[in-house]
């Protein structure tokens, strides 16, 4: 199995070899600083604090379709991006229309997480068991902010995000963790 550093170097080389023009808005000096692999999709965090994704946007499991894993706003489960695409901003609402100021990413089984510079956690993708940390079980095709207790009344502040299959963990200050 490749170490994280070797994986980052490999992805960076793939980006350079295939040509940056294939990545649309990929910035000339952008550099992958973190990579997280889910079951079928991959998230890449760059040094300019933007998030990119590739792989299938969804599929069919447990006798139902799922979608939204790439965070592009598409609800087409059959979409498969073979090159990196930038993750949209969802309810973060940025001037660029894309997720910004992100410092950590984690690709789950069929969902994704991002952590911004303010400690806010953002999630998107499959949510059949509440793994996105919101008050319902609806899929999200773009990132939504995660709040303590699932409601928008209590902000969640974290220092790290991680996922395992259906669950997520957000490491908060003083060793307190939130998750499913």
Q: What is the pLDDT of residue 74?
A: 92
**CA distance linking residue 155 with residue 138, whole number of Å:** 21
Strands 64-67 and 80-86: unpaired
Number of domains observed in the structure of the chain: 1
Range of the domain at 81: 4-179
How many residues are listed for the chain in this entry?
180
Strand (E) or helix (H) holding 17: helix 4-18
Whole-angstrom Cα Rg for the chain: 15
Q: Cβ of 167: how many Cβ atoms within 10 Å?
A: 15
- Supply the pLDDT for residue 130: 78
On the CB side of 48, how many CA atoms lie within 13 Å of its CA?
Answer: 12
Residues 38-61 pLDDT 10s: 888 999 999 999 999 999 988 877
* CA distances, 124 to each of 18, 42, 173 (Å): 28, 13, 24
Asked if residue 87 lies in contact with residue 41, where contact means CB atoms within 8 angstroms, the answer is no
d(C-alpha 131, C-alpha 74), whole Å: 19
Specify the pLDDT at position 35: 93
Residue pair 160/170 in contact (Cβ under 8 Å)? The answer is yes
Residue keyed to tokens 């079951």: 39
CATH number of the domain that residue 99 is part of: 2.130.10.30
pLDDT value of position 5? 59
pLDDT of residue 125: 92
Tokens of residue 175, six digits: 């060793």
- pLDDT at residue 26 in the model: 62
Phi, psi (deg, nearest 5) at residue 97: 85, 5
- pLDDT (0 to 100) of residue 110: 86
- List the chain residues with pLDDT less than 70: 1-29, 62, 148-180
């Amino acid at each position: 199995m490749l170490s994280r550093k070797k994986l980052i170097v490999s992805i960076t080389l793939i980006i350079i070899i295939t040509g940056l023009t294939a990545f649309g808005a990929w910035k000339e000096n952008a550099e992958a600083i973190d990579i997280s692999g889910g079951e079928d999709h991959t998230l890449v965090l760059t040094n300019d604090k933007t998030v990119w994704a590739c792989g299938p946007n969804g599929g069919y499991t447990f006798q139902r379709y799922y979608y939204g894993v790439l965070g592009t706003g598409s609800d087409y489960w059959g979409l498969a991006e073979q090159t990196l695409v930038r993750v949209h901003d969802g309810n973060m609402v940025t001037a660029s229309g894309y997720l910004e100021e992100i410092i950590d990413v984690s690709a789950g089984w069929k969902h994704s997480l991002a952590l911004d510079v303010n400690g806010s956690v953002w999630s998107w993708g499959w949510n059949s068991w509440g793994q996105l940390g919101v008050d319902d079980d609806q899929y999200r095709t773009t990132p939504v902010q995660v709040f303590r207790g699932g409601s928008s009344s209590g902000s969640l502040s974290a220092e790290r995000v991680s996922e395992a299959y259906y669950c997520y963990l957000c490491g908060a200050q003083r060793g307190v963790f939130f998750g499913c």
